Amino acid sequence: MKLIRDRVPQIMTAAGQRCAHRIATPTEYRAWLNAKLIEEAAEVIGATVPGPVATTDALAAELADLLEVIYAIGATNGISPAMLERERHGKRAKCGGLTRGIIWHGPEVRQ
C-alpha cells in the first residue's frame, strides 16, 4: 500500500484496470504523507545518479512530485505554498541559499 495521487483511481478505471483503494483517516493521511516524502526524496536522489535515468526531465518530474508532497504536508498543517515561499525567501535572505556547496565541519573546539 502507498499514498497515490487523487486522480489515479479514475485513470486506472478508465484504462480498464482495477484499483482497490480507500480514503485515509486524517491521522493515517499524515503518516502516509511522511512515508511519501521519503519515497519521493529517494526518487529525486535516484534521478541525480549518473546513468540512463539521469535526465533533466526525469529530475524535474521527481522534484515536482516531491514538491507536491511538501505542499500537501503544508496544507495539512495550515501552511500554504505562498507561506512556504515567504519562509524560504526569508531564510535565503538571512542565511543564504545552498548554491555554493559550502560544507560545515562542525563547531571548532577551543582549548
pLDDT of residue 52: 67
pLDDT digits (tens, 9 = 90+) for 13-38: 999 999 999 999 999 999 999 999 99
pLDDT of residue 86: 98
Domain residue limits at 33: 23-83
Does a structural domain hold residue 7? no
pLDDT digits (tens, 9 = 90+) for 67-109: 999 999 999 999 999 999 999 999 999 999 999 999 999 988 7
pLDDT of residue 38: 98
Contact 66, 41 (CB under 8 A): yes
pTM as predicted: 0.87
Between helix 81-95 and helix 56-76 the angle, nearest 10°, is 110
Report the number of distinct structural domains present in the chain: 1
pLDDT digits (tens, 9 = 90+) for 33-57: 999 999 999 999 999 887 766 688 9
Residue 57: all three cell numbers together: 526531465
Between helix 56-76 and helix 26-48 the angle, nearest 10°, is 160
Does a structural domain hold residue 52? yes
